[in-house]
């Protein structure tokens, strides 16, 4: 596994690559920066484009070690269009499990690849910003960034 830093507009991200796929993004500096390779360069390029409003979908190969339920949630999250949001309830309904709002929230909380799997696009029942691994200010930044570049 290789680990890299990325300077996002709101602070440092760390990302990890294994077997030519992105496996993790963290909102903290993990203190390691391995030698760049083709995939790490692609990830940096796509993140740069995203933060400049030039990329609305990522093409980075990802690999997830998650449960089937989490996988269904993450697929639903990836179907939320850039600049739009959904509630936890709407995601639960989309995955055909309308009573699973809390479980959807838990899957969001455990999302190993935030930003790429856009859990920042999921809001509370009243459209309020709730829970985000990078903090509410970061979630608000990402939501506003996407609305700005619609």
pLDDT, average across residues 44-52: 98
74 CB burial (10 A radius; 0-12, 13-18, 19+)? buried
CA gap 44, 83 in Å, rounded: 21
9 CB burial (10 A radius; 0-12, 13-18, 19+)? exposed
pLDDT at 135 over 90: yes
**Start-end of CATH 1.10.10.10 domains in the chain:** 68-148
Q: Per DSSP, what are the bridge partners of residue 62?
A: 22
Q: What is the pLDDT of residues 70-128, one digit of tens each?
A: 999 999 999 999 999 999 999 999 999 999 999 999 999 999 999 999 999 999 988 89
Q: Which CATH class is domain 68-148?
A: mainly alpha
**Terminal-residue alpha carbon distance, the chain:** 35
Active-site residue numbers? 119
Phi, psi of 31 (to 5 degrees): 75, 15
């Amino acid at each position: 596994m290789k680990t890299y830093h990325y300077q996002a507009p709101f602070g440092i991200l760390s990302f990890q690559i294994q077997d030519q796929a992105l496996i993790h993004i963290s909102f903290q500096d993990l203190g390691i920066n391995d030698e760049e390779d083709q995939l790490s360069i692609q990830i940096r390029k796509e993140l740069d484009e995203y933060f400049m409003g030039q990329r609305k979908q990522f093409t980075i190969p990802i690999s997830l070690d998650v449960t089937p339920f989490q996988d269904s949630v993450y697929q639903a999250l990836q179907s939320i269009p850039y600049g739009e949001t959904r509630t936890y309830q709407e995601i639960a309904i989309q995955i055909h499990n309308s009573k699973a709002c809390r479980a959807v929230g838990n899957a969001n909380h455990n999302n190993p690849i935030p930003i790429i799997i856009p859990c920042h696009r999921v809001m509370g029942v009243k459209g309020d910003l709730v829970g985000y691994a990078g903090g509410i200010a970061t979630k608000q930044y990402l939501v506003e960034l996407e609305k700005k570049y619609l």
